[in-house]
Structure formats: C-alpha cells, structure tokens
Amino acid sequence: MKKLLYRKPLYVILFMGAIISIMAIIVSCKHGIDIADYTNTGGFVIGRETCNTNDTEDYWLVDLTYYPNTPQYGDTLVLGGITYTNVVKVKGLDQRLKKIGMKVSFDFKTVTTNKVETMGCNVTNPKTYKLKELFIINQGEIR
C-alpha cells in the first residue's frame, strides 16, 4: 500500500512536467513561419555601361533568365547582335561577379517601375542603356 502512495505523486509530477513542456513548445511556436520579405532571382551578366572614369560606379547589365518561369522584371535588349528578354541594370555588383557570362543570384525587394536613364557621365563616348534598375540586397555566384 505504501508503494502505491509514492507512485501517485511521481505520476503527478511527470504529468505536470509533460504539460509544462507541451505548453512551452506551443508558446515558442506561436510566432508562426517567417516569410521572406524579399524576392530571389537568377541571371547572367551580359555587359556593363561605361559612363564613369571610376568604373565601380557603372551599372552592370543582367539578363534574368537563369530560372524557368521567372517573372518579367526587365526589358528586351539587343546587345552584340543577341536579343535578351529580361534585362535589368544593377549597381554594387560584387567584383567577383563582374564577368560577362557569370551566373548570378540576387535577393532584392525593388525593381524600378520605369526605365532608368544614366546621366552625368564623365567619359568620352559613354555607352548607357535605358533599363529598369534592380536594387540588390544579397548576391552570389550560381554554380
């Protein structure tokens, strides 16, 4: 009879511990799933504008057709006799990615709704393109 009396408090303690653990899990999961507040896309570096004597200030041209079914963010551009269909320009492209043909991935929040015309060039015979601008949050090489 004494053994049964000792087991009852032990079961109550174990039961209460289980309830507290379950409650802790429920409370910690209350926040739900975080949804990214940015978009990811991939493309190919196809060229660069030449506008500034400091070429780190120039835009780079990227054709966003790496992934199938990519939304139409950019515009059509004929460059070197090749027609590209989803081209944007970007600033701040990482030095390692500044190679024609490089496959790149971008996280971004914003693409301009209107085409951006580069102004204030300080080189002779600048080469600029009127395209939408994509504002990079994160970037990397696609391998």
Residue with tokens 């994509």: 134
CATH of domain 39-141: 2.40.50
What is the DSSP track for 19-56? Answer: HHHHHHHHHHTTT-----SSEEEEEEEEEE-B--SSGG
Beta-carbon count within 10 A of 41 CB: 22
CA–CA gap between residue 143 and residue 140 (Å, rounded): 9
Q: Given phi > 0 = left and psi -120 to 50 = alpha, else beta, which region is 66?
A: alpha
Q: Is the separation of the CB atoms in 59 and 52 below 8 Å?
A: no
Task: Give the pLDDT of the chain (143 residues) as one tens digit per residue.
Answer: 555 555 666 666 767 777 777 766 666 665 666 778 999 999 999 999 999 999 899 999 999 999 999 999 999 999 999 999 999 999 999 999 999 999 999 999 999 999 999 999 999 999 999 999 999 999 999 99
Residues 129 and 80: beta-carbon distance below 8 Å: no
